[in-house]
Amino acid sequence: SVMLTTATTDADRALWPSAAGVTLVASAGAALEVALTTCNTGASPFPLTQALHTYFAVPDIDRVRVEGFDGLDYLDKVDANARKRWSGPIRFAGEVDRIYLGHAGAATIVDEALGRSIVVEKSGSRSSVVWNPWIERCRQLADMGPDGYRGMLCVETANAGDDVVVLAPGASHTLAARIHLR
């Protein structure tokens, strides 16, 4: 296990006006467990959005599907945040950048090439982000090779879109993910 802790400073106020303490705990064993706890250390409530940016390596994005989002609404960031409804498993044939709303359950990445399933369970979250930059967006990313999109995807535990947490003074919120193979 590793624990990292920080707190906002006066210099941070130019970027974010609220006072907060943040602790990240990551534990590895049969599963990877990550918990991000934010505490309001100020005198006023503040809205909190956040995400655990989990990037998954896959050998071939064409042979991957993500399950667990059937029947949910999502905000399509590729289409000006249009609200849409999803049906079935997610497959990738172009850029995907979506915030799935009302998602409190698990997501499963089915990697057909390696014959494995990666399960992302979560708590403290009612939204998830699914992302793959695809060809054009990938070319704009300095930290990814031209074909980098073929070997990755993100399934992120989040508080995003309309899933905003309001932290009262002295209150805390924990966003957590448990990732394991099935």
**pLDDT number for residue 99:** 98
pLDDT of residue 174: 98
Residues of the chain with pLDDT under 70: none
Q: Please report the pLDDT score of residue 154 as a whole number.
A: 97
- Angle formed at CA 31 by CA 25 and CA 33, multiple of 5 degrees: 20
Residues tagged active-site: 53, 156
In this prediction, residue 143 carries a pLDDT of 87
* pLDDT (0 to 100) of residue 48: 96
pLDDT computed for residue 144 by the predictor: 87
Cβ–Cβ < 8 Å for 41, 13:
no
Distance of alpha carbon 121 from alpha carbon 20, whole angstroms: 26
CB atoms within 10 A of CB 84: 11
- What pTM did the predictor assign? 0.93
- Segment 2-7 long-range contacts (CB within 8 Å, at least 24 positions apart): 2/26, 2/27, 7/41
What pLDDT is recorded for position 47? 96
What integer pLDDT is reported at residue 142 of this predicted model? 87
3-state secondary structure of 100: strand
Query: Nearest-CA neighbor of 92 among 146, 153, 156?
Result: 153
Do 165 and 48 touch, CB atoms closer than 8 A? yes
Task: Tell me, letter by letter, the H, E, C secondary structure of 34-52.
Answer: EEEEEEECCCCCEEECEEE
71-88 pLDDT, tens digit each: 999 999 999 999 999 999
- Which residues are CB-neighbours of 172 under 8 A, at least 6 positions away? 37, 38, 39, 40
Spell out a b/e string for 103-142, using b for 16 or more CB atoms within 10 Å of the CB, else e.
beeebbbebeeeeeebbbbbebbbbbbbbbbbeebbeeee
For residues 150 and 12, the answer to whether their CB atoms sit within 8 Å is: no
